[in-house]
Chain A
Amino acid sequence: MISARGLVRTFGEGRAARRVLDGTDLDVAPGEIVAVLGRSGSGKSTLLHVLGGLDRPEAGSVAIAGEPVTGIGERRLSALRRRHVGFVFQFFHLLPELDGEANVLLAGRVRGADAGALERGRALVDRLGLRHVAGSFPHQLSGGEQQRFAIARALVNDPEVILADEPTGNLDVQAGADVLALLQELAGEGRAVVMVTHEAAAAGIAHRVLRLADGRLAVA
C-alpha cells in the first residue's frame, strides 16, 4: 500500500543543515498499523508529510496504492491526497467557523471529491457517535470529540491510507484509548495506518513499531 525508498530531507543550509531523513525506506501493507517513534525533532512528522505528499523529499521515491507521490505536479498530488490519503493531526485542525459536521463534510466538498462523499461524511458522524454534537462548534467540543470529528473528516473520501501525526498527543488517557480503538477498526477495514507517536500506549496497538533515528527507520 505504501512504499518509500531512499527518502532524503534536509532542513537548513550550510553548517546549520540537518538531514532528518537520510535514505529512509518504509513499506506498509493494507490493514497494517505501523507506529513510528522517535525523539522530538527526529523527523517523524516530516516522514509522514513526505509519505502523504505534503512535503517533497530531496531524493527518494514514495508510492501509495501503486501511484507515485514523488515527482508529480501539484494537481496530481492534490488528486492523490484526495483519493488515497487521510490525515489525522495532533491539534485536530477543525475550522472554528464550522460546526463539527460541517468540518467533516468540508473534505467532501473539495473539487473532485467522490460523489458519495457528503453522504459518507454524514454516516461517519453517526457511526462515530457524534450526531448529538454534530451542530456544535469546535470550542464547544471536548478534545476526544474534536479528534473523532477530525478522523471522520479524514475518512470522508474513503482513503486507503491513514497518516496520523500524534493522534492522541493532545488527549487524556480515555479519549486517547477511544481514538486508538478507532484507528484499529480502520486498519481492520483494510486501510494502512502510519502513526507517529511517542506514547507507549499508542505504539501498543501497532503491528510494527519502528524508531526513526539519524534519518533512518529501524525496528524498535
Chain B
Amino acid sequence: MSRRARRLLAALGVFAAALVAGTSATVGFGLATGFERSASRAGLPDVIARFDDGAAADVDRRVGALPNLEARSYRYDVRDIRLRFGSQSTRKGILGVLGGGRRGYAVTEGRDVRAPGEVVIERGLARDWDLGPGDRLELGRRFELPVVGVAVAPDNVAFPLTVTPRVWLLPRGRLDEVNVAQLWLADPGRADITLAQARATSFGIGSLEFVTREGIRVLLGQAAGIVISLLVAFSLVALLAAGTMLATGAQADVARRLPAFGVQRALGYSPGRLAARQAAEAAAIAVPAASLGLAAGALAVSGPSGELLAQLNEAPPGWALAPVLALCLVGVVLVVCVAATWPAYRAARRPPAEILRGGDLRPLKRRRGPAGPAAQGAIDVREGERPGRTRSPTLPPLTSASSTAGSRTFGPAAGTAARPTSRLGDGLLATGARFALAARGRWLASVATIAVCAGVVTLMLALAALLERLRDDPGTVGKRYELTARLDPVFIASVRGIDGVAAASPRYQAEVADSYRLGEPLRLIAFPGDHTRFEAPPLASGRRLRGPDEAEVGLGLADALGLRPGSTLAVQAESGAEVRFRVVGVVRALEVDGRLAYVQPDRLIEADATTSATIAIDLDRDADRAAVQRELVALGARVQRPGAATTRNAAFLGVLASVLRGVGLAVGLVCLYALIQALAMTARERRGAVALLRACGADARTVAAVFAGAALVVAVPAAIAGLLLEWLAFGPLVARLAAGYAALPLAPTFGQVALVLGGLVLLAAGATALVARRALREPVVAGLREE
C-alpha cells in the first residue's frame, strides 16, 4: 500500500469518527438545549394555570395577590374549534383569545396579531398544512381570518404530535372571561410557594391545573435524555474505534519507519522532535478530515434533528452549535495526534543502535511451536551450530521404492509420522485466522471495537423495538387485559358471562393533585381486590397493596414527591375532598411517566362519587375478539383496546424508533470500517504471504478464503462479546439511565441476535471481498519483493 493510500485510509478513519461525533453533537446539543432556548425566546411563563371559565377581574384579583409574581397575562382558550385550510381540517383546534400582556409564544414568521380579525398560528400547523402568513384560515363555520404570523409556544409539543393545533387572536373589545393564567415569577426557584398560595386562594375556581416551566422541561428532558445518552455513548464508541485503529495504523507506520528513526536519532534528533514531527503529520491529516467529518455529520442530521426539535416545539441551535463542533474538532484531533505520536515517541526513545539493529517496536517473543519430540530432537542436533547454519542431512532419494525412477508421481509415504496438529488447523480459513491473530494487540483492539459497536447496534435495535412495543402493546407496560369497555360496573356480571372473557373487573381512574405540592398532578388507578391480575407494573420496593388505605405509587411520583414505603400520599380529588393513603410499595410504571398510584376504589369513590370507571376485560387465549366486542356493544358498551405507555405520543415514539435504527445503521458502518481497517492492515502486513499463495497458483477465491478467515476470527468473537455486552451491561445500564421510573426490558430477542450476527457475517464478507479485490490488484512480484 502506498504512503498516499495509507494516509487516505487514516483520513477516512478520522472522517468516520468525526462524522459520528458531528452527528451526535448536533442532535445531542440540539435536544439538550432546545427547550431552554425556545422557552427563553418565547418568554415561556414559569407557571401556566388552567381552570374553568371565570370572570377576568376576579381571577386577576386573586392572581395579583400571589407572592413572587413578576408579570401575568390571561387568555381564554376555546377547545374543539373546527379549523380548515383547503382540503385539510380538524375539529380539535384550540383558539387562544389573548388578553394582553406577555404572550408566552415567539413569532418565528410574519408578525404578531395587532388587531381583532387576524390570527397567529402554531408552527406545527403551518408546517403540516403548508400554511403561512397571507393565507386565510377558516375557524368554525363562520369565520375566515387572515394568518399574519407563525409562532412557537414550547409549553407543549407541536401539532400533529399533539392532536390539538393552536391559533391565537385578539378579542373584539375586552376579555371578560378567562380560563388560562400565565405567571412569570420574580424567583422561579420559589415557584412552590406561589403554587401553594394559588391553591389556597383558588376556592370557587374549578378544574384548576398547574403546569410549570420546570415540569415541562423535565418531561421533555426525559424523552430526549435517552436519545442524548445513546448518542453521546455512541460517539465515544466511534471515537474509541477510530482512535484504536489510528493507533494500530500509527504503530505499523512507525515500525516501517524505524530505520529512518534510527538514522535520525544517530544524527542527533531528539525523541521529542521525532514525535513532534509525527504529531504534525497526524494533525495535517486529522484537521481537514475531522473538519470535513464534523461538517458532514452536522449537515447530515441538521434536517432530521430540526424536524425532531420542531415536533417538540423547540428551536434549532443555529450558530450556538459552532463552539460545540469546534470543541469536538479539538477532541478528535487530539485523540488522533496522541494515537499517532505515542508509538513514535516510544520507538524513538530507544537507543539509536538498538533502533538501527531493526526489529519490531516490542521484542517479539519466540513462540514455541507445537513441535513434538521429533522436532525437539532436531533442535538438539543443531546445538552448537550458529543460527542459520545447517547440519548435513542425509537426503533420502527423491525417487523411492514407491515411485518409479523418472516418474513425477508420489505415492503415500510409508511410516509417515503423525504431526501434532494445532487448534486452528491448517486450512485456508485457519491460515487467515493465524494472520489476524499474529498481531494480538490489534486483534484484541479490533474485537473490542467491533464488540462495542455490535453491542450498541443490538441495543439500538432492542430499544427501537421496545419503543414500538410501548407504542402499540399494552402488555409491555404490564397491562394484562385486551379490551376496555366504557360500561357501568353494574354490568360486570354480564360481561364476565360473555363467552371468551377470562376475567373482567371495573377499573377506576381519577386525575387528582397532591395535597402538599399542588403543582403535581397525578393519576389514581383503582381495581377492586388484586390489581396485578389486570395491571402489574414491576415492584421496585415495598410490597403490593392489601387494603383500601394503602397505595402503590409509581417511581416517577415517588421521585417527584419524595415518597417511599411508609410515607403518606395525600391527594385532592376533583370534588375538593382529600384522601390519604399509606404508601406500601413503589412500582416501575411507564404510564404518565410513572406519576400514578394504584389503590383500591373504596376511598376514591367515597371522596368523589363521579369517578369514572371502565371495565377491563381479559380474554381467553382462543377467544373470538370480534364476537366478544359485538356482545359488549350489545350491552351498550363503547369498546377500546387499552392504550400502551404513551399512546398520545405514538408518532413521536415512531420517529424515535426510526432515529435509533438509523443510529444503529451508522454504528454498523463503523463496524464495517473497523473490519476493513483490520483486514487492510493484515493484508498490508501479509502481502508477501498473499503473493506467495498466488505464486503457488491461488486464485481470487483462495485469497478471499484466507481473508475470510482473518475477518471471521475478528467478527465472530466480536459478535458474541457484543451480544454479551448488550445483555449484561448496555441493556441494564440504559434501561436505568433512560427511564428511572419504569422497567425497560432491553434484552435482545432471538431475531435481533440473529440480525446482529448475520449482519456482522455479511459485513465481514463485504470487507473480505473488498480487501481481497484490492490485494489481487497488486502485482505478485511486488508482494514477493517486500517479503
- Residues of chain A whose beta carbon lies under 8 Å from any beta carbon of chain B: 49, 52, 54-55, 74-75, 78-83, 85, 87, 89, 91, 93, 95-99, 101-102, 105-107, 109-113, 116, 119-120, 122-129, 131-137, 139-145, 148, 153, 156-158, 160, 171-172, 174-175, 178, 181-182, 185-186, 188-191
- What chain B residues lie within 8 Å of A156 (beta carbons)? 696
B410 adjacent to A120 (CB under 8 Å): yes
Chain B 407-422 interface residues, beta-carbon cutoff 8 Å to A = 407-413, 415-417, 419-420, 422
Contact with A along B694-718 (1 / 0, CB 8 A): 1111111110010000000000000
Contact between B370 and A126 (Cβ–Cβ < 8 Å)?
no
- Chain B residue numbers with a CB within 8 Å of A98 are 426, 431, 434
Query: How far apart are B395's CB and chain A's nearest CB, in angstroms?
Result: 5
Please give, as numbers and ranges, the residues of chain B lying within 8 Å of A137 by CB-CB distance. Answer: 367, 369, 371
Partner of B410, one of A74, A81, A105, A158: A158
A-B contact pairs, 5 of them (CB 8 A): A78-B700, A135-B371, A156-B696, A160-B408, A185-B399
A177 vs chain B, min Cβ distance (A): 9
Chain B residues with Cβ below 8 Å from A175 are: 389-390
Task: Check if B561 is an interface residue, CB within 8 A of chain A.
Answer: no
CB B332 to nearest CB in A, in angstroms, measures 36
Q: Which residues of B contact A141 (CB under 8 A)?
A: 378
**Once the chains bind, are B395 and A93 in contact (CB under 8 Å)?**
no
Q: Do residues B377 and A132 form an inter-chain contact, with CB atoms below 8 A?
A: yes
B490 within 8 A of A: no
Interchain CB contact under 8 A, A81 and B400: no
CA distance A156 to B699 in the complex (A): 16
Main secondary structure, interface of B, reads loop
Contact of B697 among A81, A122, A140 (CB under 8 A): A81
Instruction: Name B residues whose Cβ lies closer than 8 Å to a Cβ of A.
Output: 366-367, 369-372, 374-375, 377-379, 382, 385, 388-400, 402, 405-413, 415-417, 419-420, 422, 426-428, 431, 434-435, 437-438, 688-689, 692-702, 705, 776, 779-781, 784, 787
Complex-state Cα separation, A194 to B507, whole angstroms: 95
> Which of A54, A99, A119, A140 touches B379 (beta carbons < 8 Å)?
A140
With a cutoff of 8 Å between Cβ atoms, the chain A residues found around residue B375 in the complex are 132-136, 140
Residues of B within 8 A of A126 (CB): 396, 413, 415-416
Q: When the two chains form their complex, are residues B438 and A172 in contact, meaning their CB atoms are under 8 A apart? A: no
Known: A54-B779, A93-B688, A97-B434. 13 other contacts (CB 8 A): A78-B694, A101-B419, A110-B697, A123-B416, A125-B413, A132-B378, A132-B417, A133-B371, A134-B419, A135-B371, A135-B420, A137-B367, A189-B407
By beta carbon, the residue of chain A nearest B695 is A87
Bound Cα distance from A191 to B426, whole angstroms: 29
Q: Which residues of B contact A95 (CB under 8 A)?
A: 431, 434, 689, 692
Chain A nearest CB from B113 CB (Å) reads 76
A157 to B150, CA, bound (A): 80
A93 and B699 contact, CB distance less than 8 A: no
Contacts of B431 in A (CB 8 A): 95, 97-98, 106, 109
- Say yes or no: A142-B385 contact (C-beta < 8 A), given A110-B702, A132-B378, A157-B696: yes
Query: A14 vs B640: C-alpha distance in the bound complex, in angstroms?
Result: 85
For residue B555, give the distance in angstroms from its CB to the closest CB of chain A: 55
- Cβ of A182 and Cβ of B398 under 8 Å apart? yes
B395 to chain A: which residues have CB within 8 Å? 128-129, 178, 181-182
Residue of A nearest to B409 (CB): A158
Question: What chain B residues lie within 8 Å of A112 (beta carbons)?
Answer: 697, 699
- The answer, among A124, A135, A145, for a CB contact under 8 Å with B374, is A135
CB distance from B12 to the nearest CB of A (A): 27
Taking a contact as CB atoms under 8 Å apart, the answer to whether B696 and A153 are in contact is yes
Residue contact B390 to A142, C-beta cutoff 8 Å: yes
What residues of chain B lie closer than 8 Å to A127, measured between beta carbons?
A: 396-398, 400, 410, 413
Across the A-B interface, the 10 shortest Cβ-Cβ residue pairs: A82-B697, A144-B390, A175-B390, A137-B369, A97-B434, A126-B413, A123-B413, A142-B390, A107-B696, A132-B374
Complex contact B784–A171 (CB within 8 A): no
- B784–A93 contact, CB under 8 A? yes
State which of A82, A107, A189 has its C-beta within 8 Å of the C-beta of B408: A189
- Determine the distance from Cα of A174 to Cα of B410 in the docked complex, in whole angstroms: 27
Task: Out of A52, A106, A143, name the residue touching B693 (CB < 8 Å).
Answer: A106
Q: Which A residues are in CB contact (< 8 Å) with B416?
A: 122-123, 125-126, 131
Pick the contact of A145 from B390, B407, B415, B701 — CB < 8 Å?
B390
In this complex, what residue of B is CB-closest to A52?
A: B695
Q: How far is the CA of A178 from the CA of B396 in the complex (A)?
A: 11
A188 CB, min distance to chain B CBs, angstroms: 7
* Complex alpha-carbon distance, A191 and B413, angstroms: 21
Q: Residues of B contacting A135 with CB < 8 Å?
A: 369-372, 374-375, 419-420
Q: Known contacts A81-B695, A93-B784: does B412 contact A123 (CB below 8 Å)?
A: yes
Bound form: Cα–Cα A191–B399 in Å: 13
- Indicate if the CB atoms of A54 and B393 lie closer than 8 Å: no
